[in-house]
Structure 1
Amino acid sequence: MNPEKRHVLLLWMLVCSGMTEAIEPISTSIAVGMAAALTGFLASYQNIFYYFNECCRPEWISFNKTGFEVDLESKLFGQHIASRVILKAVNGFMRDDNPKKPLVLSLHGPSGTGKNFVSKLIAAHIYKKGMDSSYVHVLTSELHFPLQSQFETYKTQLQQWIKGNVTNCERSMFIFDEMDKMHPGLIDSIKPYLGYHNNLDGVSYRKAIFIFLSNAGGKSITQTALDFWKAGRDREEIKLNDLETGLSSSVFNSNSGLGHSGLITKNLVDFFVPFLPLEYRHVVQCVMAEMKAKGLHPDQKVADKVAKDLLYFPKSEKVFSVSGCKTICTRYHNYI
């Protein structure tokens, strides 16, 4: 805040606090007159603090559809299904000023295929502070819910935590990482918050976003991708309906956080989003993008060396990267 605005604000606080009674009568008259004259001026700055401190307002929470679409196209590799589904889902939800329920996305696939990365992109294009926003919350199963013996306590804490954060900001986003390692049944404790309710105990959850990240279902996704490859078909020919039914069934029958979950039986998950295993060419693209993000000139030779250094499966064909793009940020430095 510049000195002029600070001076005016302090004067206004002085007048409004009643401290003018301690000033000489003539000074009081001048101060009150100045305050009256400055009322209109100060009114234009009534929201000035909102520009310096994050709050649950459009200045801090506003969806950038164009930027999100560009980043999905230029930074997420080998995931034509996930890109299309997530863009449509997030765009439709954020455009709706009165959604009927929270947006619930369940992202599935092998490690290193982009699930965490997409979550960060969503946050970056909704919240001005991205993942650093006080309205973006990340829970990791092994860190936050490690003990089976504390199962009932976790349920209560999770309910209270969700309710408290949504009460604070209806546009809150919750990311549940490692859902495949969560105790089965725990996530059902928040089932009421994901349904079609105007409000629950005076709190509306309809503008919140819930994202589940899991490796569960990764085997069925990989098998479908491998079947297409063996049949000589391009991976871009794989459609959502080739995967969705098998994916939801696989996840439901798994021993994971969504195993036999009411979120699935009650159709509260809006989209099961499959992330395909990455091929050599996608790893190369990841390395090139990482170098660019670090301010380096992308080097095709370096990218090829990094990609060749990774493990691929099946052993005979070596089609898909075992770790996807997960370890490239620590590897490419060795080749520069």
Structure 2
Amino acid sequence: MKVARIYLLLHVILTASVLVNTFDPITTTVVVGIGATLGRTIYKYFKESCNPQWIAFNATGLQKDLDSKLFGQHIASRIVLKAVNGFMNNDNPKKPLVLSLHGWTGTGKNFVSKLIAENIYKEGMDSSFVHVFTSELHFPHASEIETYKSQLQQWIKGNVTNCAHSMFIFDEMDKMHPGLIDSIKPYLDYYDKLDGVSYRKAMFIFLSNAGGESIIQTALDFWRDGRDRNEIELHDLETALSLSVFNNKKSGLWHTSLIDKNLVDFFVPFLPLEYKHVVQCAMAEMEARGFDPDKDVADQVAKDVIYFPKTERVFSVKGCKTIESKLDYYI
């Protein structure tokens, strides 16, 4: 139906442009005016804007994606779904949603951010309302920290002014200069408005490897005790994780007031991945490429991955991060 309407508009404009040459000057002006108006209508139809046509939370879609595409992360999946669902269904949140995702490389932190974006914004990660900051790319020089603070504040203020439902993703927080993230603390706090701007509908997601060691140690303890990883609960990890991040000098959240003032709503732990999860990743990647998932190929890929500790070989060193490239070799 939408496509039909667009074709109709295009037809009217093209017809109007042809008829222009046969009309007198006054009629020509009217026809051109109609064509310009319709042209602006089509432009607005295609141009992403901050309204429900482009921004609409799909709770069912997010749950389905987390259940079928994220492997070995029962804690993270549950927290993310509840947190985002509760926030997006609240017409009057008291503060922005702040999630801090922690875990070893390749465990799904970036992937979960992508799934959240895809189930909120029609354009997903390509949306003009989703903003990704990478520490080493956007904040490379410690000597420019004050400049970065000012630029970051202005960038966030400008984008939230443009669209209240903006999302900000900070990748490689463990490489971010300590103190930089504190510059945006006011925007994450319980304020109705700051300089006339409300930040309460915005979402901030921090991605970090910091705290990964404590998460791995807990998972390894459970494995050595013969307990299933699905028995690990958030309370087994949360306190140690937040303390580890707060006291880690290499963390962008080192001694940050965001933690001190409890402005991070959830510290989300991502567990290290085992052999079976790597197999699942390989199967899912084959399906995403349009191939019939082949368990034998998936096993070959999983066996080619390096595991740790060296003696037990329980967890994948890089999670599922190299699966895509390794799969090219086998199919």
TM-score (norm 1): 0.89
Letter of the 1:278 counterpart? L
**Are 1:78 and 2:81 matched, yes or no?**
no
Alignment of 1:150-169 (within 5 A): 150-169=144-163
Counterparts in 2 of 1:49 and 1:228: CA distance versus 1, 3 Å: same
**Which of the residues 70, 95, 102 maps onto 2:89?**
95
**Are 1:2 and 2:18 matched, yes or no?**
no
The equivalent residue for 1:314 is 309
Equivalent pairs, count: 316
- The Cα shift of 1:204 comes to 0.7
The equivalent residue for 2:217 is 223
- The Cα shift of 1:5 comes to 6.5
Kept after mapping to 2: 8 A contact 1:106/1:272: yes
- The Cα shift of 1:4 comes to 5.3
Q: Mean Cα displacement is larger for which, 279-288 or 48-57?
A: 48-57
Instruction: Give runs of ≥4 in structure 1 deviating > 2 Å.
Output: 1-11, 20-24, 45-51
- The Cα shift of 1:98 comes to 1.0
**Which of the residues 239, 245, 248 maps onto 1:254?**
248
Q: State the Cα RMSD in Å.
A: 2.4
Distance 1:51 1:125 in 2: 20
Alignment of 1:154-193 (within 5 A): 154-193=148-187
The equivalent residue for 1:64 is 58
Counterparts in 2 of 1:5 and 1:324: CA distance versus 1, 3 Å: closer
Alignment of 1:278-297 (within 5 A): 278-297=273-292
- The Cα shift of 1:188 comes to 0.2
Kept after mapping to 2: 8 A contact 1:51/1:59: no
Larger radius of gyration: 1
The equivalent residue for 1:118 is 112
- The Cα shift of 1:23 comes to 2.8
* Secondary structure at 1:2 match in 2: helix
The equivalent residue for 1:335 is 330
The equivalent residue for 2:265 is 270
Kept after mapping to 2: 8 A contact 1:79/1:276: yes
Distance 1:4 1:261 in 2: 54
**Are 1:198 and 2:203 matched, yes or no?**
no
Distance 2:50 2:164 in 1: 8
Give 5+ residue unaligned stretches, structure 1.
12-19
- The Cα shift of 1:52 comes to 1.3
Distance 1:325 1:3 in 2: 47
Letter of the 1:281 counterpart? K
Give 5+ residue unaligned stretches, structure 2.
1-5, 17-22
Counterparts in 2 of 1:57 and 1:48: CA distance versus 1, 3 Å: farther
TM-score (norm 2): 0.90
Distance 1:151 1:21 in 2: 64
The equivalent residue for 2:20 is none
Letter of the 1:312 counterpart? Y
Counterparts in 2 of 1:10 and 1:170: CA distance versus 1, 3 Å: farther
Letter of the 1:2 counterpart? Y
**Which of the residues 199, 207, 218 maps onto 1:213?**
207
Kept after mapping to 1: 8 A contact 2:50/2:163: yes
The equivalent residue for 2:26 is 23
Letter of the 1:125 counterpart? N
- The Cα shift of 1:198 comes to 1.0
